[in-house]
Amino acid sequence: MRDDAALVLFSGGQDSATCLAWALDRFAHVETLGFDYGQRHRVELDVRDAFRAAVPSARLGPDHLLRLDALGAISDTALTREAEIAMGAEGLPNTFVPGRNIVFLTFAAALAYRRGLKHIVAGMCETDYSGYPDCRDDTIKALQVALNLGMERRFVLHTPLMWLTKGDTWRLAETLGGRALVDAVVEHTHTCYLGDRTHRHPWGYGCGTCPACDLRARGWQDFVSERL
């Protein structure tokens, strides 16, 4: 396995885009991986190429896209169905797709195995998040152990945003690539759960009212307030 190469889980959202920039800053070779699982906001996949083009680098390698229709088929959530976003009876938002990150990282490790890539980078965060249990640091650490044992490899799972607020994530993007990278994140990433690309805000595109838009907007306000 190449110790200087990484695979980034790149959905097309703000967090994964920032993780891609983070990986390009650290590794000599970086590949990207997206998943089509029947998500309601599938438009996130459509902006991935534009963002990759906006961060030209000799270090940026191939992009991969895997279809995981089964995940969408077995999920009865507001991210895979036309349903109103709300809190569930168990205290989790109905945007939680059970097993999603576990499945994503398992497939990512299988691809990294074939491609000879040691490092896997993902945008899970336990600070500003919706309470998803598969975003927790303990989950990621446990999964790293399981993947390494099950594949007889020494993958390293990186989650550079784990302890950052959304405002911190904007600041990290600026640190990594200056205003050009911040502008690329604004223009060429998608976070809105409803898949709205018709409304343009200072922080990017989205409905402006769903939980993902609200979090992104509040993070942007935290970021820009330092400049006022």
Q: What is the pLDDT of residue 227?
A: 66
Per-residue model confidence (pLDDT) at position 4: 97
Q: Taking Cα atoms as reference points, which of 212, 165, 149, 202 lies closest to residue 18?
A: 165
Structural domains in the chain, CATH included, are: 2-190 (3.40.50.620)
Task: Note the pTM of the prediction, 2 decimals.
Answer: 0.92
What whole-number distance in Å separates Cα of residue 203 and Cα of residue 219?
A: 9
Spell out, as residue ranges, where the chain has pLDDT lower than 70. Answer: 76-96, 129-130, 227-228
Judge whether 38 and 69 are in contact, CB under 8 Å.
Answer: yes
pLDDT in tens, 139-190: 999 999 999 999 999 999 999 999 999 999 999 999 999 999 999 999 999 9
Length of the chain: 228
Backbone angles phi, psi at 3, to 5 degrees: -75, -15
% pLDDT > 90, the chain: 72
> Which pLDDT belongs to residue 87?
61
pLDDT at res. 73: 76
Strand partners, 60: 30
Among 159, 177, 186, 168, residue whose Cα is nearest residue 21 = 177
Rounded to 5°, the CA angle 64-112-16 comes to: 55
* Whole-number pLDDT of residue 206: 96
Which residue matches tokens 């998608």?
190
Look at residue 94 in the predicted model and tell me its pLDDT.
56
Alpha-carbon gap, residue 103 to 223, rounded angstroms: 32
State residue 63's pLDDT score. 98
Q: Answer whether 135's CB lies under 8 Å from 100's CB.
A: no
